[in-house]
Amino acid sequence: MTTHTTGRVIVISGGGTGIGAATAALYAEQGDRVVVLGRRREPLEQVAAATGAWALPTDVADSAAVRESLDEVLAAYGRIDVVVANAGGHGLASVGETDDAEWERSFRVNVTTAFVLVRAALPQLEAASGQVVVVSSLAGLFAGPGVAGYAGGKHALIGLTKSLARDYGRRGVRVNAVCPGWVRTPMADGEMDELRQLHPELADRDAAYATVTENVPLGRPAQPEEIARIIAFLGSPASAVMTGNTILADGGAHVVDLPTIAFDA
């Protein structure tokens, strides 16, 4: 890597697909220096080829691996200005159907990844008066059926966001969380395929997405680029007075009073 000493440096976990890839593209378009982290080399390199980002394959739940990757970033760029903690995954079962290993895996991919990455970056974030954007989910506020590990982890991310904001605001670091609803990502596409197996009358993914957003005020899923714009706002001087916030980006799903749906003409 060529050594640079100026310009903002953005580190994004889960940067190979979906929201992470869209966020990398947006920051790169704005002229920032973008580093994408994740376990899978191929999608990271695809993002790098498309955006000019730097792909660093890293298990973001592994403290030693994260430290090694951030040391590389610091050697090349000399600073870290924004961390987007976007890595995550599913814990798809109810409590009674979740074994110890699955529970631990859910928290490792959803919570430990954010904790480890932000902890390692804190000295640089303090030096830069930087920002952290934690990508939680609507599942961080509400519970869907049979997703105990996922909902538990996403709820924990909101607590982590508040704790970081409380402890590090006086040190110049701002921390906010984004809670997307349905977003058209590869992960959500897989869920739509599962929904179609349960409901064979759904002709395609578009029909599945239409079904899951039927009672959402905007009536559609978000695109990854729409969530990326919110992340980029929070990770910028434009949001200078905001910290500890939980920003819902769900098409209005959270305002719907479920018991009154039957009265909707």
Catalytic residue among 27, 77, 150, 168: 150
- State the residue for tokens 């179609």: 196
Query: What is 62-93 written as a DSSP string?
Result: -HHHHHHHHHHHHHHHS---EEEE-------S
Give the whole-angstrom CA distance, residue 175 versus residue 72. 24
Spatial distance between the Cα atoms of 97 and 106, rounded to a whole number of angstroms = 13
For residue 227, what is the enclosing H or E element?
A: helix 224-234
Q: What percent of the chain is helix, strand and coil (3-state, nearest 5)?
A: 55, 15, 35
Parallel, antiparallel or unpaired: strands 82-85 and 33-38? unpaired
Answer yes or no: 150 catalytic: yes
Instruction: Quote the radius of gyration of the chain (alpha carbons, Å).
Output: 18
Which positions are catalytic? 150
